[in-house]
Amino acid sequence: MDADEAIKKLFQLGDVAIESSDQLAGKVARKAAKLADERRDKEQEIDEIKPQLVPVPEREHGRNMRIVPWELLHLLGRATVLSGHGSSRALAQHWGCLKYITSLQRNVHGRMELSESGKDPRYHRLAVQAEDLGIAFALASALRIAQQRHPAYRFEIVDADIALEAGWALRGNEVKGKSNTRLRPDYFLFGFRDGAPARVITVECKGSHQNAGAQHRQLAKAAAQVNAVVIGDPDRGDVTPPGLLMATLLNDAGGVQMRILDPPGDGTLVLSGDGDGRDSGLNGPVEEYHEVPGIPVRDGEHERDRRPGFYIAPDRSQWFARVLARTASAGLLAFAGDRDTAGSLLTRRQRARLGSDHDTGPTHVDFDTGVELAGMRLVGTDHVFRLQSQRMEVFSGIPHVLHDLLSGEPDLTGRHHVLPDLSAQWHEQEQNILAEWGGVIHMDVNGAVMGLRKMGEGRALLD
């Protein structure tokens, strides 16, 4: 596949089939019960799952998702940029999504499917591909569902491991009881709206090349992972946030297929202050805690035990909202290549995942480039690579105005205030932006921009 054909396919809409039904919920519940029996037989601790497994209402997904491959690659890059490999692998980590440029295509029936390149074991390890593309498809669908459910909110992707590190040690010698931290979701969706409580949705992303039975098993395990976070007072009953359990089957005969369940829950975080001050709302410092993992289990008026997981007490509501907002903003900055400013938004334990601030080796990613397109100034980082014999340039960045708001004394609430105008400006000028860029380029609702274009042919090396 040559570069022109690859770029064209990156913006071809394809359909992804979605199954979410009572029948699916029943199959997953039975699989969860079987897994519990297996752990009981091995004298292992039983993983508690969400008390209700229900389908996503059809009005929120329409049994289908239409999407272009470039949006999926963009999402994968955004979601994994803080995944914790450290700066020694910064380049591969930052642009890891590029290995899937030729992996997805639209088939003759309009369905999204793996291309021949995507199926070739010489280029892809199946387990890694399933995990990566499972994340991309899951987050794309989860964001659509969340936006349909709460249209006045703007949702951001937050790596759950990074966020939870602000309150609990998840790695290294500080971890006292790994069994208590084993279960956790992959991501939080953090929703913000002026004058209203913030919203949290847990998302567990699974991918597979196997049959539907493997997906039922994945969803059963996911039901325990999203049950491992509690926000609020356990005396109120089920105070786990709502969860979205996502399993993506990549090699279905008709194309990519998703199976989704929607365990309900409460997922609000009250913010004090009117959001206008530098130390109110989402703004202000975040203290790092050293909590002992465990969720209180009540028996009448008495706490009788603690189950594995992470408990955010009512008086930590604003703290956790700020953690999520700062972690999301740090991911945005890291995506643009500015790891130093990203680190300033994180706690010490969270910051350790970014690696050394002074690493300038060959795999270093620099925040040192920019471009102005249709009057919008973008700042970020770039990389040059080859697709077949064609030299390609990829750019990731954010509007300059967002970087200004997140630098120095960050104004996270202010960032949310300017995003609607930036999105409107982008959509109004999108055709001009594409023409001036000369390739594919996309900005998501949170201001992250990713573009790809061909470069010159270069010159032959001298003998």
- Each residue's pLDDT, cut to its tens digit, for the chain (463 residues) gives 678 888 889 999 999 999 999 999 999 999 999 999 999 999 888 899 988 899 999 999 999 999 999 999 999 999 999 875 444 456 677 888 999 999 999 999 999 999 998 898 877 888 999 999 999 999 999 999 999 999 999 999 999 999 999 999 987 665 555 677 889 999 999 999 988 899 999 999 999 998 888 999 999 999 999 999 998 876 665 578 899 999 999 988 889 999 999 988 878 887 776 445 555 688 988 999 999 899 888 766 666 678 889 999 989 999 999 999 999 999 999 999 999 999 999 999 999 877 655 455 555 677 889 999 999 999 999 999 888 888 999 999 999 999 999 998 999 999 999 999 999 999 999 999 999 999 999 999 999 999 999 987 656 555 5
Q: 158: domain range?
A: 3-454
| 264 inside domain | yes
| 459 inside domain | no
| 460 inside domain | no
pTM: 0.92
| 461 inside domain | no
Task: Count the domains in the chain.
Answer: 1
| 81 inside domain | yes
Radius of gyration of the CA atoms of the chain, in A: 22
| 413 inside domain | yes
